[in-house]
Amino acid sequence: MFLINLYKKYITKKSLSIFKKNINLLGKSYEFGPHCYAKLLYGSQKDDITIEDNVSILSGCDLISSHGGKIFLGEYCKLQNTNILCVDRVEIGKYTAIANNVTISDNNNHPINPDFRKFMRTTPHGSDARSLIHSDHAPIKIGENCWIGQNVRIQKGVTIGDNSIIAANSVVTKSVPTNCIAAGNPAKVVKTDIHLIPAPTTCKEYNDYVKNGQ
């Protein structure tokens, strides 16, 4: 058992070392969990994945940049078991929290054309035909202080406004305004003006924060 635990610690340390080598870190304070991977494919470089200060990337996250796709994570945002597939740009704003098993893809993964997809199946893994760049793609922007629920998928070309919430199990195919809750497949706005909903008064730390004018 001791040797197994020692081996697990070694693998975790090694994977985190590789993860850090493939990303551009801005700042000094981070939290990185086990089984996180930053993959640079088809010419992408370290500077294509940028992470600001105080970001938490917990277990099971895959950040995949292909053909120079830009991934940007703002200060204090949090990801857990999140998959990001990028050939264009995926931007996640400050303070945004992303729950388990979320996929954010700025591309369709494969072209729609049936003949191309049939040809692709005959090519080896790693061939150009299997690259994400050949599918339709458009940038994704998730605003500041958003909350993305469990099992959500966010599709290409979507913008999610500041403070908005995406309910669990939603598939977001169209942009969502600020201060809204969107839910469903495809996701639709089900509540607006959530910034007008009073904050809870049961948290002393928050009450002190407000009292001190923070």
Which amino acids are annotated catalytic? 110
Checking DSSP bridges between strand 187-191 and strand 102-105, what pairing results, if any?
unpaired
Task: Give yes or no for a contact between 154 and 148, defined as CB atoms under 8 angstroms apart.
Answer: yes
Catalogue the E-assigned strands of 152-214: 153-154, 159-160, 165-166, 171-172, 181-184, 187-191
Buried b (16+ CB within 10 A) or exposed e, 97-132: bbbbbbbbbbbeeebeeeeeeeebeeeeeeeebebb
What is the distance between the alpha carbons of residues 87 and 197, in angstroms, rounded to a whole number? 38
Task: Give yes or no for a contact between 157 and 172, defined as CB atoms under 8 angstroms apart.
Answer: no
Task: Give yes or no for a contact between 18 and 43, defined as CB atoms under 8 angstroms apart.
Answer: no
Q: Is the backbone peptide bond immediately before 186 cis, with ω within 30 degrees of 0?
A: yes
Task: Give yes or no for a contact between 90 and 102, defined as CB atoms under 8 angstroms apart.
Answer: no
What is the distance between the alpha carbons of residues 88 and 213, in angstroms, rounded to a whole number? 39
